[in-house]
Structure 1
C-alpha cells in the first residue's frame, strides 16, 4: 500500500460505488422478437432510507416483464437498484420510480414491479405497480 493513511482510504470512492453512481439501465435487442415470453427477476438485497426517520428499509424487488424490442441487461439493473441505498424515499415512491425508469429504458409490452419490504415496527408493506403498453 502507498503512503495513504487509513482515513484517506475510507474517503476514496470505491470501484463498486463508482459503478453504482455511473450506472444506468442498459438494454440490448430482444433476441426473440415476435415471441411473447415472460422474464422474472428477483433482487433480494434492496435498500433505501425512510424519508421521515432516516432508518434503512430493506426489500426484495421483483420485476416481471414481457419484452418488446429491448431486454434489460441484468448487471445494469443490479447497479441501478443499488443506487437507491442512500436515497431517502418512501416505499410507494420508490416502486413507482423503478417502474417509470424501467419502462423508459426498455419499453416492454407489460411490466410489473413488486417491492416486498421487510417488516419494521411490526408493519410489513408490499407495493405493486404495473404497466401495459398501449396499442397491444
Structure 2
C-alpha cells in the first residue's frame, strides 16, 4: 500500500522555530491541540487528549504547522500519559528554549478514570 503524503509529512515532522518578533517583551502564547491520540503501552487501546501548551518565548517561537505534525506523530506510539506530557515538554524546550513553558495533557476519561498531567519548565537566568 502506498504511503499517503499526509502520513509522510507526519512521519517526517519535526518541531521548528522562527525568531521571536518581540525579544525582551514578556508575553504568553497559548496553544491548544484538541485531537491528540496515542496508544496505551499496556493494553494497546487508543488514548485521546487535549494538549495545552502555554509559554513565554525568549529568542524563538514555535511554528504551528510543524507543531501539528509533531503532535500527530504520537498517534501510533505506545506511551503513558505521564511520559507523553514529559516528552512533549522536553522536545519543546530543546527546540524553542522558552523563558517558561507549561504542557498540560488532559486525557479523555477511559474506564471511569480521568487524568490530567501537567509539567513545567522555567529557564535558569
Tell me the TM-score range normalised by the shorter chain. Answer: over 0.9
Listed as ranges, the matches of 1:1-136 within 5 Å are 11-135=1-125
Structure 2: tracts of 5 or more residues without a match:
none
Q: 2:86 & 2:24 partners in 1: Cα distance?
A: 28
Count of matched residue pairs: 125
Structure 1: tracts of 5 or more residues without a match:
1-10
Q: 1:59 & 1:116 partners in 2: Cα distance?
A: 5
**TM-score with structure 2 length normalisation?**
0.99
Q: 1:82 & 1:105 partners in 2: Cα distance?
A: 17
* SS of 2:34 mapped into structure 1: strand
* SS of 2:75 mapped into structure 1: coil
- Aligned-residue Cα RMSD (Å) equals 0.4
In the TM superposition, structure 1's runs of 4+ consecutive aligned residues that sit over 3 Å from their partners are none
TM superposition shift of 1:34: 1.1
* SS of 1:94 mapped into structure 2: helix
**TM-score with structure 1 length normalisation?**
0.91
1:45-103 per-position Cα deviation (integer Å, ceiling 9, x unaligned):
00000000000000000000000000000000000000000000000001100000000
Question: Of the two, which has the highest radius of gyration?
Answer: 1
1:16-63 per-position Cα deviation (integer Å, ceiling 9, x unaligned):
100001110000000011111000000000000000000000000000
